[in-house]
Amino acid sequence: MAWPASSRVEEVLSFLEKAKVGDVDPRSGRLFAYVYEAGDESVREVALRALLDYAEKNLLDFTVFRSALFFEREVVGFARSLMHGGLEVVGSFTLGGTESIMLAVKAARDYYRKREGATRVPKILAPVTIHPAFLKAADYLGLKVVRLPIRETKADVNAFAEAIDEEVALIALSAPNWPFGTVDPVEGIAEIALDKKVLLHVDACLGGFILPFFEMLGEPVPTFDFRVEGVTSISLDYHKYGYTPKGASVVLFRDPELKKYSIYVDVSSPGYVFVNQAVLSSRPEGPLAAAFAVMKYLGVEGYKRLAEKVLRARNAIYHGLKGLGFESVGKVESSVLALYNSDVDLIGFVSNVKKLGWYVGLQRGLKEHGIPDNIHLVISPIHADVADAFLSDAKRALEMKPEVSTKSLYDIIERGAFDELVRGLQEGVIDSSVIPKVLEAIPEEVAVELIKNIVVEWFK
């Protein structure tokens, strides 16, 4: 797109350039979360062209912008085929995984109310590893979440069998879960859901566009999709391993009746008939068009090629870190690595890695489940090109004296010097990945209030 030449335009564009200074380059391969970089300039070109061409069109009324009908049918159809859904499976395009999950939860709540009435507060049963989006959806929509213990790093089938009762509106599982990258035993728990006539949602936001291609490449992948009879809905994100710009997800429903429960309609207002397939009303068509464009450009063979790069990068990084003393928390069966090293101060390690220009997550362990603190890496195709450089710097990070260590962090907590903590976070001296370890030392309600205060101060 050619920008008009004027001094005012140039002035604004210069502001945009200056604002980037503190950002990590999402194309660099130095991030192990937040972005899913294909490392393919043609993918980026196709996506950004579609994003710009359709940026001004509004998904609020698909009878006006009829291209939205075409694009949504196509992106939902491709997702449905990956999840082995029949033609009866329907879905909706959303701007993110949380929105997809919220629609699945709304559908389950309203389905439950129609069957059981509105006197009970319905429950969601989920393992402790479930994504917080389910807790957020329950908070917004008035449900309770019962989080059950895990067996090793996966949902425990027996725990679900014991916990399920007449108040359960939805069972939620992951493929894979975010913390450890393992796939819950969907087949075993689906039998329980079928027996009790309870809906079962699989959160495949992370794995939906990578695990099917792993399977095509011969990798063993536990079955989690519509091939499992009891699965009633699935969420999967185009803007993760679909490699499209942010703001692209799909929720699929086995039964069209369930999709109806996810839709909001108002015909009583004088302005216009209000029909929302998603949580938001006005939404840009650009992310939908970009999802279609990338999906059409890559196709199954393109996605397989990128999945092969992810596997290559994952295996190289895993074995390289294993050589430095790290071990996997659970079975390695997705694009996620969760690794621990009992001889290393992980806060210091993550701090040093960041100093060397890499961004690796830090997760607090689940001590009641025997899971230690660990580092978290989500592998993208671009990491195949930088794996050797990362492993070299990881070795250096282990040898460096850290600016921030577990001892110094707990010293701040013990002194109650939370202003110092906030300042360190704002200035980048303390990496935000250590926040889970900070919160581990204080009561949950205090932690929630602390986080809210930090956010308010950050955006002042």
**Is residue 377 within 8 Å of 332, Cβ to Cβ?**
no
Angle between helices 383-399 and 346-355 (to 10 degrees): 120
Whether pTM > 0.75 for this model: the answer is yes
144-148 β-sheet, strand order:
90-94, 249-253, 233-237, 199-203, 168-174, 123-127, 144-148
Q: What is the pLDDT of residue 395?
A: 98
Q: What is the pLDDT of residue 416?
A: 64
- pLDDT tens, N- to C-terminus, the chain (460 residues): 555 667 888 899 898 999 988 888 999 999 999 999 999 999 999 999 999 999 999 999 888 899 999 999 999 999 999 999 999 999 999 999 999 999 999 999 999 999 998 888 999 999 999 999 999 999 999 999 999 999 999 999 999 999 999 999 999 999 999 999 999 999 999 999 999 999 999 999 999 999 999 999 999 999 999 999 999 999 999 999 999 999 999 999 999 999 999 999 988 989 888 889 999 999 999 999 999 999 999 999 999 999 999 999 999 999 999 999 999 999 999 999 999 999 999 989 998 999 999 999 999 889 888 899 999 999 999 999 999 999 999 999 999 998 776 677 767 666 766 667 667 766 666 666 666 666 666 677 777 777 777 777 767 7
Dihedral sign for Cα atoms in the order 24, 7, 44, 85:
positive
3-state secondary structure 171-194: EEEECCCCCCCCCCCHHHHHHHHH
State residue 220 phi and psi, 5-degree precision.
-70, 125
Dihedral sign for Cα atoms in the order 134, 137, 138, 139:
positive
**Is residue 105 within 8 Å of 170, Cβ to Cβ?**
yes
Q: What is the pLDDT of residue 7?
A: 82
Q: What is the pLDDT of residue 3?
A: 58
Q: What is the pLDDT of residue 417?
A: 64
Helix ranges (DSSP H) in 199-345 = 211-216, 256-262, 286-322
